[in-house]
Amino acid sequence: MRPNVAICAGVGQLRSISRREYLPRISQRIELRAEVLAAPVHFGADYYLAPYNQGDFQARAFIGGGFLTLPDSKAVFEQLEFATDTATTLGGSFRIKGHGDSPGYYVQAGAHMFFAARFSVILGVMYRSAKISEDAMKYVFETVDTEHHTSTPVPGAEPSIPIRMSGISMKMALGIGF
């Protein structure tokens, strides 16, 4: 846009999986799995500060920010029980699946280093703020039959759980120019 302002846009991926297995007795097993998957899309601008020059090397610090969205984010929580009895059960096998969208914002800062050999390196850190509210997330609660590997939706049992997708990330890029 200008020598010291750059427009930036991008797509990323956030994925987190947590798995636990409990063995309450011989030949009994309880598996817990939680997974969140999102692809943040961001659009914003970066402001470049005055350059530092040393021969053919130039480095410029930048700060920036903008808006982001998490379209069609997915979340799954699953509890599967195998051969449990009334003394070791946690309430039976079930699965909660959800999907939803979220708006948010981000801020970032970093350094862009230009080298004489026609390449540049970008190092930066980004803070992202986004929360998928319980109203925006649509859940399906299913009971699971672990013996026959089937699941049945339970109507009217949809939970309301907000998911916070905020956090800090680092980025690194290598650019080759003419």
What are the tokens at 111? 């350094």
Does the structure show a pLDDT above 90 at 14? no
**Burial grade of 91 (CB within 10 A; 0-12, 13-18, 19 or more):** exposed
DSSP code string of 62-85: EEEEEEEEEEEEEEEEEEEEES--
Q: Give CA–CA dist 175/163, Å, rounded.
A: 35
- Percent over 70 (pLDDT), the chain: 98
pLDDT bin (cut points 50, 70, 90) of residue 162 is confident
Total-model pTM = 0.74
Does the structure show a pLDDT above 70 at 178? no
Residue 18 belongs to what H/E stretch?
strand 14-22
Sequence spans of domains, the chain: 12-176
Does the structure show a pLDDT above 60 at 22? yes
Q: Which residues fall within 8 angstroms of residue 140, CB to CB, at 6 or more apart?
A: 96, 97, 98, 153, 158
Mean pLDDT of 41-67: 94
Q: What pLDDT, on the 0 to 100 scale, is given for residue 1?
A: 57
Which has more confidence, 167 or 134? 167
pLDDT bin (cut points 50, 70, 90) of residue 172 is very high
Q: What pLDDT, on the 0 to 100 scale, is given for residue 37?
A: 92
Q: What pLDDT, on the 0 to 100 scale, is given for residue 88?
A: 82
Query: Which of these ranges, 51-65, 68-82, 154-168, has the smallest mean pLDDT?
Result: 154-168
Which has more confidence, 161 or 124? 124
Q: What pLDDT, on the 0 to 100 scale, is given for residue 92?
A: 85
Q: Tens digit of pLDDT for each residue in 118-140?
A: 899 999 999 999 888 776 777 78
Does the structure show a pLDDT above 90 at 19? yes
Average pLDDT of the residues of the chain: 88
